[in-house]
């Protein structure tokens, strides 16, 4: 009887081990799909590639959508859609072959458009007064210390060298027509001023992209001057934060030194859209 029990126990043990082995090898040669295409939309394409590679996908391809004109609202490298095996509506956590074709479509500039835009920026300086030769712009010294920020090739507009910028930043009338006039005249130009983060909100349904409402001067809950500026649809890294006290979370109530490109004037709700170049904590 004992011999029969021992044999039976041995058989059960072997079957259990075989079952466990089969379970561990069940997904060999397969990869698990990450979040769906709608979640990947808006991320940088290289980040999405990294996500799929971490899940085990080996056949990842990219397609450029050379449709950007300014890159102010839709970022260079921003993902439009992702398909897995030709399906843009794929579900999360599905096991498929590691060789299943993954295609990422992302926005970018045409090569010739990028070159011509750079040339026009250098040539168009007619609206700006010349700076004092013995004064180094704050942006030059700050940007040189930050390898992730490109050095601008044109003069930065500040309250010291541009009367119109000084005027709008000190204006108390929040409906002043000067704001629109300034944004239209200096669209594409770079400005530098002291400001603060008045309000922060998520951009659409994204969890890592935000809209930042920016006021001039120091943060206050009761008073403010100048126009309402906005950084729209940006993530933490696109702010290019500098300084010794850079926070882990860039929220409301922070005093900052802003270097940004003027994008446009948004009639409704009356915002001057800016694209951040460098932000130093004050």
Across the chain, which has 282 residues, the per-10-residue mean pLDDT values are 48 51 69 89 89 90 83 80 93 93 89 51 45 45 48 81 98 94 97 97 89 96 93 93 91 97 93 97 95
Per the CB < 8 A criterion, the answer to whether 161 and 224 are in contact is no
- Sign of the CA dihedral with 232 first, then 238, 240, and 245 last: positive
Q: What is the pLDDT of residue 153?
A: 60
List where CATH 2.40.50 sits in the chain: 148-281
Q: What is the pLDDT of residue 129?
A: 45
Q: What is the pLDDT of residue 5?
A: 42
Tell whether domain 148-281 is in CATH 2.60.40: no
Q: What is the pLDDT of residue 127?
A: 47
Per the CB < 8 A criterion, the answer to whether 142 and 278 are in contact is yes
Cα separation values, 90 from 60, 87, 207, Å = 15, 6, 21
| φ, ψ for residue 81, nearest 5 deg | -160, 160
Task: Give the strand order in the sheet containing 79-84.
Answer: 60-66, 102-108, 79-84
Per the CB < 8 A criterion, the answer to whether 38 and 103 are in contact is no
Q: What is the pLDDT of residue 66?
A: 84
Report the distance separating Cα 253 and Cα 95, nearest Å. Answer: 45
Q: What is the pLDDT of residue 156?
A: 96
Q: What is the pLDDT of residue 19?
A: 53
Q: What is the pLDDT of residue 208?
A: 85
Beta bridge partners of 32: 95
List where CATH 3.30.10.20 sits in the chain: 27-109
Which helix (H) or strand (E) segment is 10 a member of? helix 2-24
Q: Which long-range contacts (CB under 8 A, 24 or more apart) does 53-58 make?
A: 55/31, 56/30, 56/31, 56/32, 56/98, 57/31, 57/98, 57/100, 57/102, 58/31, 58/98, 58/99
Per the CB < 8 A criterion, the answer to whether 278 and 259 are in contact is yes
Tell whether domain 27-109 is in CATH 3.30.10.20: yes
Q: What is the pLDDT of residue 117?
A: 47
Question: Position of tokens 């000190």?
Answer: 170
Token pair of 57, please? 């996908």
Q: What is the pLDDT of residue 12?
A: 52
Q: What is the pLDDT of residue 280?
A: 97
């Amino acid at each position: 009887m004992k011999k029969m029990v021992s044999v039976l126990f041995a058989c059960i043990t072997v079957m259990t081990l075989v079952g466990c082995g089969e379970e561990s090898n069940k997904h060999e040669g397969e990869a698990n799909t990450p979040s769906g295409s709608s979640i990947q939309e808006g991320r940088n394409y290289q980040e999405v590639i990294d996500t799929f590679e971490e899940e085990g996908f080996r056949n990842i391809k990219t397609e450029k959508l050379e449709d950007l004109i300014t890159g102010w609202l839709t970022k260079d490298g921003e993902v439009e859609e992702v398909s897995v095996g030709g399906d843009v509506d794929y579900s999360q956590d599905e096991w498929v072959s590691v060789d299943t074709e993954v295609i990422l479509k992302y926005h970018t500039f045409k090569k010739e458009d990028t070159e011509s835009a750079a040339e026009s920026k250098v040539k168009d300086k007619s609206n700006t007064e010349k700076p004092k030769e013995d004064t180094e712009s704050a942006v030059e010294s700050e940007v040189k210390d930050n390898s992730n920020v490109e050095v601008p090739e044109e003069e930065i507009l500040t309250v010291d060298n541009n009367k119109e910028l000084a005027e709008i930043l000190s204006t108390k009338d929040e409906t002043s027509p000067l704001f629109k006039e300034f944004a239209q005249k200096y669209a594409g130009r770079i400005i530098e001023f002291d400001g603060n983060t008045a309000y922060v909100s998520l951009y659409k349904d994204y969890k890592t992209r935000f809209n930042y409402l920016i006021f001039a001067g120091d943060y206050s809950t009761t008073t403010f001057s100048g126009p309402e500026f906005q950084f729209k649809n940006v993530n933490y890294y696109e702010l290019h934060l500098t300084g010794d006290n850079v926070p882990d979370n860039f929220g409301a109530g922070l005093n900052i030194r802003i270097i940004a490109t003027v994008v446009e004037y948004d009639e409704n709700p009356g915002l001057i859209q800016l694209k951040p170049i460098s932000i130093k904590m004050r």
